Amino acid sequence: GLLEHPTLPPALAVPTAAYKLFVSGKSGVGKTALVAALAGTPVPPTHHETLGIEATTVYWPAKPRGAERPVMFQLRFWD
């Protein structure tokens, strides 16, 4: 995933669909590792509890089926 919103020329500008995804579950099951892998950042090698909430924003370009233009998805993971 892309961590920062990519700059596109005006001719290639696409709409952005923003989503907030809350990741929850038992301790030590891999929630933080999943978010790190999706964001393209290194997965922590050892387990440590997340204190509070860590927010990670990922921009993911995609072309939905049946759509004429691609869409830029802004995914805000709350872990």
Splitting the chain (79 residues) into consecutive groups of 10 residues, what average pLDDT does each group show? 61 85 91 90 83 88 86 92
Q: What is the CATH number of the domain that holds 71?
A: 3.40.50.300
Q: Which residues of 62-75 are buried (b: 16+ CB within 10 A; e: fewer)?
A: eeeeeeeeeebbeb
Residue 62 maps to a domain: yes
Task: Give the whole-angstrom CA distance, residue 68 versus residue 4.
Answer: 24
CA angle 26, 58, 47 (to 5 degrees): 30
Residue 48 maps to a domain: yes
Rg of the chain (C-alpha set): 15
Residue 36 maps to a domain: yes
Residue 4 maps to a domain: no
Domain that holds residue 72: 12-78
pLDDT for the residue 2: 47
Residue 1 maps to a domain: no
- Give the count of domains, the chain: 1
Tell me the whole-structure pTM to 2 decimals.
0.75
